[in-house]
Structure 1
Amino acid sequence: MAVALVLVAGVAGALTAASSFGSSYDFPEATPKAQCGPGARPETSYQGRVPARDYTTGRAAKGYRCNTREIAHHGTSGGFKVHRYTDRKGNTCAFYDSTLVFPRDVLANAASGTGVVVLDMTDPARPRQTATLTTPAMESPHETLLLNRRRGLLAGVLGTAATYPGVLDIYDVRTDCRHPRLLSTTPSGLLGHESGWSPDGRTFWSSSTVASLVAVDVTNPRLPTPVFSQLGVQYHGMRLSADGRELYAANIGSPGPTGVTGGGLRILDVSEVQDHEPDPQVGVLSDLTWRERSIPQVAEPFSRDGRDYLLEVDEFTDLFSFSGLTDPVSSPVGAARIIDVEDPRHPRVVSDIRLEAHQPDRRAGQTGDPGASFPAQGYAAHYCSLPRRKAPNLVGCSMILSGLRVFDIRDVRHPREVAYFNRPLMPGKKVTLPNAEGAYAMSAPAWDVGRRSIWYSDANTGFYVVRLTNGVGRLLD
């Protein structure tokens, strides 16, 4: 199973090997670690690590927290996205996908079922499941599950680690988020793996990561219509500028004799799609790369002091170039970074967000830690999210074995960690699922700003509501 997943993931992304850095490469430093206040149960090793000895002694079973407190827990599995939404009646709901890779997780979810879970979050301390969405895309949305708040539309494309036929499901959640209403199921997504919404909610973007990009006009969500498609591109997650005219694509790169190379950020001019012109054309404004990259996952837009930025995150490590596949321990962990895109034709990296566990000089000593030896788990990043687009102070990141990490980004050039929460699964507790040990935090978190809380899911242990404490939550004000 592990070998199969690695090979499938190899189709999804691959970049140049760590050996290409050379001994003189100045690798970015780890972000300053959080200073824990009262009530902490801090990590026992360096930043982000859960060492094997903590499993042996039972310490890992207690979990780790710093300036956080668990408010609620639901279920025993999770996927790639968590969303929060309040409908026009005032109901507040959570939506999260319950699987990582379909059909790998079917046996583990035999009791609870697969699909997208809907929770009534009227009382965040007592989540109440009101529905499970099991239409084709919702059974296996992979990384495509996205919410457009402006129109109250929840959408996903049938996908998996490489790709699936892109069946697009669109639900109305504005009327009653506790019971989403299916508006359409169509093959308009072409192929499925990742996705993006235009801010106005009139265009849904679908990418397969192996060869395709498609834009779907959903002005009428009952009749989605593909309006642009492109083959031969390997794009991962996609987000758009506030006016919807620039698309920020996590560019996996181009296949070649040494693996997939040339990845990073690609900024596309999608103004003709946004304007709903007939036969729209899409052009490339710029490409940006960084030497420590692994697999670019997604870039979330935000602004501060009148400038536009992206919070970009890489997933996993550089496993799938030839050198990376044979020596994954020495392969780079891209983690995350802040990119200035005020001039979309000349983007530039202004800072990095990393844990000590991501650093090359630490990785060789982690191979005995539960979960660290599985390439699609390990100490690496996967998704980050922001509480708002305009001047956010915090960013929350799911960093797989290291759990949920929270960073202060008020100074975009000098981010610092301010909180974390991690509930590893003890080995042997979930025997139906391969690699069910340690944390498996893969989801883009959601934010409950009013209650100073973060919602996220862990593939091994389920959905969590986590409150920020010791003054960290005030940074959401």
Structure 2
Amino acid sequence: MTAGPAAAAPRLPIAKADCGPGSSPETGMQGDVPARDRDSGRSTRGYNCNVKRLGQYQGHGGGITSTSYDHCGYMGSMFPGSMVGPDTGVAVVDASDPTHLRKTATLHDPALSGGTWESLKANRNSKLLVGMAVPLLTGAGLMGVYDVSDCAHPKLLNNPSNLLPITAHEGGFSPDGKTYWAMGTAPGVISAVSLDDPAHPRVLTNNLTALEDHGIGVSADGNTLYLSHNFGGISVWDVSSIQKRLPNPHMRKLSEINWTSGAFTQHSIPVSYGKNHYLFTALEGGSGGVKVVDVNNPYKPKVINELKLEINLPQNEDAKLASSMGGSLFAYESHYCAADRPDNPTALACGWISSGIRVFDVRDPMHVKEIAYYNPPAQTNKHLDLWNSPHTLASFTGIPFLSAPGIVQSLAQGDFDPAQAISQRSGRMFADLSSDWCFAPPEWRGDKLYVGCSDNGYQVLQLTNDVYTPPADQQSHVGS
């Protein structure tokens, strides 16, 4: 039932992008925002390679994760910043003209103004938007369900004051959009919520999984769920009785795999290459990067590749600490990704927190290369303008605590040089916003990406220099 741990962290990064005309490349190693750039103001100009920004709606920050449907984006809310001012909640951004983004509405029911954390998701099949109230790490009870068939003017379908027996932190859909999965970090309950009648969501089953619950990925048929573990790993669950709406439905655990390279597994994107089935599984802590997991045998999942930037390698954990001090809890970690289609994907785009948006050629999952990146302009010291940014709200500390597991592993392997971990930023106890945090999945629209970052808000990016050709059957795929 349990597969062994993954191999040690790789010592080679993903092949670097070849930056063409119009690029303003990184000045340090791949993925880094060097200390000298942070302190000189260079990072406020951002970095780009084969990507240009077409438009932006900054608002007061983009929350943790954003989502999109059709030509619209929905910016996550962050409590208590989401309660500041007369217009609180989730901002709706119309990107029909990608060079002039405009806010058309604010969704301010209690569920969406209470801080959506990582729960805000849209589904193209059901044309529904769902978010839950998460004041701090975990919430309970409140869910908002919106019809986004007119994407710029969503309509609330349910009464969110009717509490549901759910916990909230993270959430996601089954592919058909009829089941929403709600998870809280504690006490470890995952709930399957039926949206067969979206005006009256109802809980089909609750399952206690200890502290495993974080993000998910769901197979194309809706019958298998891949549940992220908070401490590094995933478990595989048969949820076919829930998908089929059988009497007394339940989840059945098939297997699990745990690893020591990285921590805080975020979510998984199920993809297929011909008859082979894999996951792209992102980790948000400990320089875990994105793991490629073979799930052809659901009883024996195995890691077959690990995707890391140069700054994530164990021999560079010391340099990572030197540049990221004074940047707050997160440094250069992967978070949420999107493939350009579920079958035979050609590209994967990821929010890589302080490393910005990273775009990879994944036509061969064993030989991945980077083709583009965009790290938006740092909003240094603009805390008072960005009260909906988690970066602002976490500025009480400058220490990158979420990097600790990677540093510990680097020390254990003899790769960490304390002298290389020292810079002019060492000892800074408060965050200065000298890089942005890009948590959200960059969602595909032809050669464009729709994405929100914590400080820069909602943005439309365009890939340039012919590095990417959209497949005819492109279908942005986040996994849930």
TM-score (norm. length: structure 2): 0.82
Quick check: 1:213–1:233 contact (8 Å CA) kept in 2? no
**Secondary structure, counterpart of 2:112 in structure 1:** helix
Tell whether the 8 Å contact from 1:394 to 1:476 is kept in structure 2 after alignment. no
| Structure 2 residue 143 is the aligned partner of structure 1 residue 168 | yes
Question: 2:16: which partner in 1?
Answer: 33
**In structure 1, what is the equivalent of residue 313 of structure 2?**
359
- TM, length-normalised to structure 1: 0.83
When residues 269 and 198 of structure 1 are mapped into structure 2, their CA distance, relative to the original with a 3 A threshold, is same
* SS in structure 2 at match of 1:443: coil
CA distance in 1, matches of 2:468, 2:135: 35
Q: Tell me the residue number matched to 2:203.
A: 226
**CA–CA distance in structure 2, aligned partners of residues 280 and 42 of structure 1:** 52
1:232-286 CA distance string (max 9 Å, x none)? 4321012211111101111225xxxxxxxxx401110001111111211211111
Matched, 1:206 2:175: no
* Structure-2 residue corresponding to 1:237: 215
Please give the per-residue CA displacement for 1:178-217, whole angstroms capped at 9, x wherever unaligned: 1100011242251100112111221111010222111111
Partner residue of 1:120? Answer: 94
Identity of aligned residues (%): 34
1:168–1:299 CA distance, 2 compared to 1 (3 A): same
Matched, 1:215 2:192: yes
Q: CA deviation at 1:353?
A: 1.2
Distance in 1 between residues matched to 2:68 and 2:334, nearest whole Å: 22
TM-fit CA distance, 1:161: 4.5
Task: Please say if 1:187 is aligned against 2:169.
Answer: no
Q: How does 1:312-323 map to 2 (within 5 A)?
A: 312-317=281-286
For 1:272 and 1:404, how far apart are their aligned partners in 2?
A: 37
Alignment match, 1:469? 464
Q: What amino acid maps onto 1:127 in structure 2?
A: L
Task: Decide whether aligned partners of structure 1 residues 198 and 344 sit closer, same or farther in structure 2, where only a CA change above 3 A counts.
Answer: same
Is 1:409 equivalent to 2:362 in the alignment? yes
Q: After the TM superposition, which residues 331-346 of structure 1 pair with which residues of structure 2 at under 5 Å, given as runs? A: 333-346=287-300
Which residue is equivalent to 1:419?
A: 372
RMSD value, Cα: 2.2
Q: Give the whole-Å Cα distance in 2 for the aligned partners of 1:135 and 1:51.
A: 41
Q: Give the aligned partner of residue 308 of structure 1.
A: 277
Q: Equivalents in 1 of 2:280, 2:321: separation in Å? A: 29
User: How far has the Cα of 1:111 moved from its partner?
Assistant: 5.7
Equivalences for residues 3-14 of structure 1 within 5 A: none
Which residue of 52, 62, 65 corresponds with 1:81?
A: 65
* Alpha-carbon shift at residue 461 of structure 1 (Å): 1.9
Deviation at 1:302, TM superposition (A): 1.3
Could you tell me how far apart the structure 2 residues matched to 1:146 and 1:131 are?
A: 17
How far apart, CA to CA, are the structure 1 residues paired with 2:300 and 2:347?
25
Question: Any conservation in 1 of the 2:327–2:435 contact (CA below 8 Å)?
Answer: no
Q: Which moved more, 1:300-309 or 1:410-419?
A: 300-309
Following TM superposition, by how much is the alpha carbon of 1:431 offset from its aligned partner in structure 2, in angstroms? 4.6
Structure 1 partner of 2:75: 96
Distance 1:446 1:279 in 2: 36
| AA aligned opposite 2:184 | S
- Please state if 1:267 is matched with 2:236: yes
Name stretches of at least 5 consecutive residues in structure 1 with no aligned partner. Answer: 1-19, 87-91, 254-262, 318-332
Residue 57 of structure 1 and its aligned partner are, at CA, apart by 3.2
Q: Is the 8 A contact 2:75 2:457 kept in 1?
A: no
